[in-house]
A = this chain, B = another copy of it.
């Protein structure tokens, strides 16, 4: 019931917190995750390292909050692309995949923090704080717009899928966590499956490219990506681009 005014102290505090994360991010982009250090952040801000403990209980906590911010930033970028793509769900999906790849290539270190090797400390903290890793909110929140768009497409013109009886047997029983977040299945199991399959396919392409695991085969991944996206879209009954 306190007033809405953030009481100066809190404003300063919030400003320091964002400045801390900004400097951490600069270190992240230049030197990768292991380059983020409390002492370096403090140096860059003209502080001493222990002072940061007034704002975060540990370096891992700071990195975790940074990761959440980045997750959200990527989500917004994808949603923006979606809304700029018109009303057709197919066009929206194509725009979103392109936005996802573009952002990831432009921010490889951030991508690595969010989608790569789980950082040991992060997961421990995340488990307690219900944050961005294993049981995390962020992953589900990020997947939501993709899922939503696919659901629209499905409602508009159902695409052919693997027959449900086949899926219902083995796949549906594993959907507990999914149902926990998105409510009881308004969506048929086939659509959920199609969503997860497409999402892992997109992730595989982008992760491989960002991590450099395709350098040995291909000089430019763009054509591979474009053709693959077109394929997925076509399998969803979409029109050619």
- Which positions in A face B, CB cutoff 8 Å? 31-35, 112, 115-118, 120, 123, 133-136, 139-140, 143, 162, 166-167, 170-171, 174-178, 181, 193, 196-197, 200-205, 207-208, 211-224, 226-228, 231
User: Is the beta-carbon distance between B231 and A162 smaller than 8 angstroms?
Assistant: yes
Given A197-B224, A201-B201, A204-B201, residue A117 in contact with residue B211 (CB < 8 A): yes
Using Cβ atoms and an 8 Å threshold, which residues of chain B touch A116?
116-117, 211
**Minimum CB distance partner of A126 in chain B:** B212
User: Is the beta-carbon distance between B217 and A178 smaller than 8 angstroms?
Assistant: yes
Q: Could you write out 11 A-B pairs with CB less than 8 Å apart?
A: A32-B117, A116-B211, A134-B215, A167-B227, A171-B223, A171-B224, A174-B221, A175-B217, A196-B214, A197-B231, A201-B204
**Minimum CB distance partner of A142 in chain B:** B216
A80 vs B143: C-alpha distance in the bound complex, in angstroms?
Answer: 37
User: Is the beta-carbon distance between B176 and A219 smaller than 8 angstroms?
Assistant: yes
A178 vs B197: C-alpha distance in the bound complex, in angstroms?
Answer: 27
Given A34-B120, A193-B227, A231-B162, residue A208 in contact with residue B200 (CB < 8 A): yes
User: Which of these, B135, B207, B226, contacts A215 with CB under 8 Å?
Assistant: B135
Using Cβ atoms and an 8 Å threshold, which residues of chain B touch A231?
162, 197
